[in-house]
Every structure is written in C-alpha cells, then in structure tokens.
A and B are shown apart, each in its own frame.
Chain A
Amino acid sequence: SQTIHQWPATLVQPVGSPLSLECTVEGTSNPNLYWYRQAAGRGLQLLFYSVGIGQISSEVPQNLSASRPQDRQFILSSKKLLLSDSGFYLCAWSVLSREEQYFGPGTRLTVT
C-alpha cells in the first residue's frame, strides 16, 4: 500500500532562517506531488505541484521554492523565512492530476 511521510512534524524557526521540509511517498511510482499551506483560520492554498522529476509548477510567487530530486521525494525550501510563512504545510500525492489526492500528516511551522 502507499504511504506518505512528512517531516518534521513541528518546527519553530526564527525570522530570516532557512527552511527545508521533506515529503516522501512510498509504494507508488511517478506520482504527482503537491505542497499546500493552511494559514490559521484559512483554507488550503496550493503552493507548488510536480508531475515528474525536475518539473515544478509554482502557484503563488513568494519566498518559497520546491524541488523534486527523486521520483518520490518533494522538498519545500526557503532561504529566509518571514513571519507570514507560519502555517500548516501539507504534502499530497495523486496518480493522475484530476483524481483524488492523498495527504500527509502535515508540518506545523511557527516563525518567531
């Protein structure tokens, strides 16, 4: 069966520090991968998605970036965090882009 992992589960970082969040999917090949953010009291915001290795689409221009160094690995990064980057970050995968997505457990990021 397929499993999606995210780490760390929680993270507290000072403003201006770098960020690296990792997402890994097991049990499937060539998945579509997605990064979402939920700010407090708000819905899901799609940040990036990838339909293959090295292929990244950005939905929201900001100080975040994403990379897909391996087929089932998706990394969300920032060189310098802002207070507004605080939120709950979710990774998801799907077989086909129009079909259901399966979500990881999320990472709670607090920027202080």
Chain B
Amino acid sequence: AQSVTQPDIHITVSEGASLELRCNYSYGATPYLFWYVQSPGQGLQLLLKYFSGDTLVQGIKGFEAEFKRSQSSFNLRKPSVHWSDAAEYFCAVGAPVQDKLSFGAGTTVTVRA
C-alpha cells in the first residue's frame, strides 16, 4: 500500500518570504499526488494534483508543486507567502488499486508579520 510522509510538523515563515513544504511518498509505480490546505475549523481544500505529464504543477492561491520520481517527492512551494496562507497543509497519494487516498500527518504553517 502507498504511504506519505511529511517530515515537517510545523514551519514558521515571514510574510513575503518563500515557502516549501516537503512530501515524500512510498509507492511502486507513479502515484496520483495531491496537496490540500485546511484553515482552522474548516474542511480541506484541494490546492493542486498530479497524475502524469509535466512534473511541475500549478495550483490555486499561487502554489506549485514538483514531482520528482528519483526522490519520491512532491514538494509544495510558494514564492511569497501572505498572512492568509497560515493553515495546515496535507499531502496525499492515491493509487489505481486502492479504494482510498493516504494522507500525510500534515504541516502547520505559521506566518509572522
């Protein structure tokens, strides 16, 4: 079965600085990869997804992620964070033979002024 690791539990970044969140997956073939964001007290919102093709994926809210097969990674990036980006971020992986997605434990992002 596939699995996901988000090595960073909590990241603090200054407003206007760049942000990178790490995600590593375990799966034998090319997985389906996702990034979600969750603001406090709300449901999860899909930021972007990767199924195949171009390994650099653009998403909503100015986020992008890059699929690197050699590193089994799908890191999320944003060039300049806004205070509204403070939230929890989840990486998830899906596979053709599975009935469900596997989610990472999440990374909490704090944005300081």
Contacts and interface: CB of A to CB of B under 8 A. Distances in A.
A99 to B, nearest CB: 6
A44 B99 contact: no
A97 B94 contact: yes
Given A34-B100, A44-B90, A51-B99, A100 B49 contact: yes
Name B's interface SS: loop
Interface residues of B, number: 24
A104 B23 CA distance: 24
Q: From B32, B42, B44, B46, name the one whose CB has the most chain A CB atoms within 10 angstroms.
A: B44
Name A's interface SS: strand
Interface of A: 32, 34, 42-44, 46, 49, 51, 57, 59, 88, 90, 92, 97-106, 108
B95 interface: yes
